[in-house]
Amino acid sequence: MANLTVELETERKRICKIAKDCGLDFFETIFELITYDQISQIAAYGGFPVRYPHWKFGMEYEQLSKSYEYGLSKIYEMVINTDPCYAYLMEGNSMMDQKLVMSHVYGHCDFFKNNVWFSKTNRKMMDQMANHATRIRRYIDRHGYDTVEQFIDTCLSLENLIDRHSILNGPPKMTDDAPVTSGREDYMFRVEKPYMRNYINPPDYIADQKQKQSQREQMKVRFPAQPVRDVLSFLMYYAPLEDWQQDILTIVRDEAYYFAPQGMTKTLNEGWASYWHSYMMTRHILNDSEIIDFADHHSGTMFMQMGGYNPYKVGIELFRDIEERWNKGRFGREWDECDDIRERKSWDKKTGLGREKIFEVRKIYNDVTFIDEFLTEDFCVRNRMFVYKMNKETGRFEVDTRDFKAIKAQLLFQMTNFGQPIIKIEDANFENRGELLMTHVHEGLDLQPDYMDATMRNLFKLWKRPVNIVTLMDNEAQLFRFDGNSYTKHSLDGDNKKETAEQQELTKT
């Protein structure tokens, strides 16, 4: 292994064998021993040693390094989803910490290899990231740093407008039948003499035919045929971009899809790795002198504030709960129909299916399905998972509700699409003017006006035509439009559109 001390290499081999004996299956894992400054740089780059130049990475580095210097946080482990997997150990950590990190890393590597949501990710992303950096540096040399940086800013502000659940289906299929407005009046008869026009083409007939043609054109040019959730992909194919701009947008989209499964499985992934580091450390790895330090560091990682959410804590406890339930047969119709509290408490069918079940869960679930399927009322009570709210009079968080359905609904809402709004492209030729029409899938929360404004501005920069979005605002269906200069709002009453707010002049950006 790269630059590991003899002692660390010995422990790595031992832990690797223990992990395999436990049933974990992972790619070759390469550990690098680096300083905290180096690990901060790599963490700022999302775990990769090389990325394209952009100010956001410098901002991330400053935040991480200052946080470490002030004693506010510390990076214990970092592992990259590639084949082989790369993981980083920090110089100066105790041997107990290094063993903890290595056992945790092998849990992650098993998850990366076997979870279905990671099955389509690029396992050679280390090389791909370097390739992206080279291409963008080439564009900087050609077009100037400021021009390229500003375009990257625009793309990064839209990087969440992808369809994360399309990961398993591969890239969306786009067609070449982009809308074209003919403008022809084929219903008019040819007229040689101007004075005969009103006789040969009566005004009533022309008006009727115009209406019919307008309806035909509206049906013909509606594009796309079905709503598109992958906004970045649609813009890649159909926005009037230069070649270098299209390539940068492709890079941003590819990287967004690479990182998407990690966000979709945060609780599941961290819970799985924590389960295995806890299991292996306490049963096979620790010596007597290290147990107290391990308990201290492990408990710090698992601490969950009242009203907060710790994916490490929830994940590991839910895996343990699943293992216990399936070991004791606490599942199925008979268990669900049992109402006797004493019988449920002592229930043990000795089925012994727990280990098999958690390996199945690690393979096919993401966070939303994980919580939806396995979170129980008993689990919430044991782990004090309630809905809290701030009491303005006392300045303290207090339990707002212990209702299990409300608790579960709030968790699922926060996890669905990472708690971000779901936006779809409905029509790229809105009202036959080449404008972009999007819809917001409203799920209880209105769009934040400042975020919506900034997003529509940046969409306009790419589409170069007015951008519209339909959403609910204050329980009223409204259409917002930005044309590059002005921002307007209309109230929607059925199929009719009524302007309800004055036009606000905005500075062109």
Does residue 292 belong to any structural domain of this protein? no
Does residue 203 belong to any structural domain of this protein? no
Q: Rounded to whole angstroms, what are the CA distances from 114 to 109, 232, 258? A: 9, 28, 16
Same domain, 27 and 106: yes
Same domain, 101 and 157: no
Does residue 482 belong to any structural domain of this protein? yes
Same domain, 67 and 141: no
Residue 144 contacts by C-beta under 8 Å, 6 or more apart in sequence? Answer: none
Q: Helix %, strand %, coil % for the chain, to 5?
A: 55, 15, 30
Tens digit of each residue's pLDDT (9 = 90 or more) over 112-125: 999 999 999 999 99
* Domain final position from 392, 416, 440: 416
CA 319 from chain centre, in angstroms, equals 23
Same domain, 95 and 23: yes
Output the CA angle 418-101-60, nearest 5 degrees. 50
Q: CATH number, domain at 444?
A: 3.30.1300
Give the pLDDT confidence score for residue 99 in this predicted structure.
Answer: 95
Same domain, 61 and 162: no
Beta bridge partner(s), residue 391 = 396
Tens digit of each residue's pLDDT (9 = 90 or more) over 174-199: 555 554 433 334 444 443 444 455 65
Same domain, 307 and 431: no
* Domain final position from 363, 390, 416: 416
480 pLDDT higher than 60: yes
Same domain, 341 and 276: no
Instruction: Return the sign of the alpha-carbon dihedral for residues 373, 377, 380, 385.
Output: positive
368 pLDDT higher than 80: yes
Rounded average pLDDT over 253-259: 94
Same domain, 404 and 428: no
Looking at the chain, how many residues does it have? Answer: 509
Beta strand 85-90 with 29-34 is parallel
Does residue 1 belong to any structural domain of this protein? no
Q: Rounded to whole angstroms, what are the CA distances from 394 to 305, 352, 389, 470, 482? A: 18, 48, 12, 40, 44
Of 49-53, 218-222, 482-486, the range with the highest mean pLDDT is: 49-53
Same domain, 49 and 161: no
The mean pLDDT of the chain is 85
Tens digit of each residue's pLDDT (9 = 90 or more) over 1-43: 468 899 999 999 999 999 999 999 999 999 999 998 899 999 9
Beta strand 486-493 with 496-499 is antiparallel
75 pLDDT higher than 50: yes
Give the pLDDT confidence score for residue 354 in this predicted structure.
Answer: 92
Same domain, 138 and 255: yes
| Neighbour count for residue 185 (Cβ, 10 Å) | 11
Give the pLDDT confidence score for residue 492 in this predicted structure.
Answer: 81
Q: How many CA atoms lie within 13 A of 304 on its CB side?
A: 16
- Please report where in the chains the tokens 């009566």 appear, as a residue: 202
Q: What is the DSSP letter of 173?
A: P
Total domains in the fold of the chain: 4
Does residue 464 belong to any structural domain of this protein? yes
Does residue 194 belong to any structural domain of this protein? no
424 pLDDT higher than 60: yes
The pTM of the full predicted model, rounded to 2 decimals, is: 0.84
Give backbone dihedrals phi and psi of 367, rounded to 5 degrees, phi first: -60, -40
Cα dihedral 300, 305, 309, 311 in deg (nearest 10): 10
Same domain, 29 and 94: yes
55 pLDDT higher than 80: yes
Residue 418 contacts by C-beta under 8 Å, 6 or more apart in sequence? Answer: 160, 263
Closest C-alpha to 358, from 380, 332, 333, 326? 326
3-state SS assignment for residue 319: helix
Least reliable range by pLDDT among 30-34, 181-185, 369-373, 453-457: 181-185
| The two structure tokens encoding residue 74 | 């510390």
Give the pLDDT confidence score for residue 508 in this predicted structure.
Answer: 40
Identify the domain containing residue 87 by its residue range: 6-115+265-285
* Domain final position from 416, 433, 461: 416
Give the pLDDT confidence score for residue 293 in this predicted structure.
Answer: 93
Percent of the chain with pLDDT over 90: 55
Percent of the chain with pLDDT over 70: 87
Decide: residue 109, CB within 10 A, 0-12 exposed, 13-18 middle, 19+ buried: buried
Does residue 152 belong to any structural domain of this protein? yes
Same domain, 483 and 431: yes
| Amino acid occupying residue 275 | Y
Does residue 183 belong to any structural domain of this protein? no
